[in-house]
Amino acid sequence: MSVTLPRGEKLRRAVRFVSDRLREEDSPPLAALVNEATLRFDLTPKESEYLIRFYRDAGHRGKEEGA
């Protein structure tokens, strides 16, 4: 069963998901986490871009791809 979340709730859950994963010692790169959150929470491209800007503006550069 699919539940329709109130406007903005998907993005709040995505931010929480990415933040929790970034705290893990062996977290994937930021781009991979944003991609996973986008699929998991059915985010729009605009919401995905917001997630990337949110973490980049906060100073999180993430791990380099392939590092």
pLDDT, averaged in runs of 10, over the chain (67 residues):
65 94 92 95 93 87 48
Give residue 3's pLDDT: 53
* Cβ neighbours for 60, distance < 8 A, ≥ 6 positions apart: 22, 30
- Cα dihedral 55, 28, 36, 41, rounded to 10, equals -50
Give residue 23's pLDDT: 92
Give residue 67's pLDDT: 39
Give residue 65's pLDDT: 41
Give residue 58's pLDDT: 84
Give residue 43's pLDDT: 94
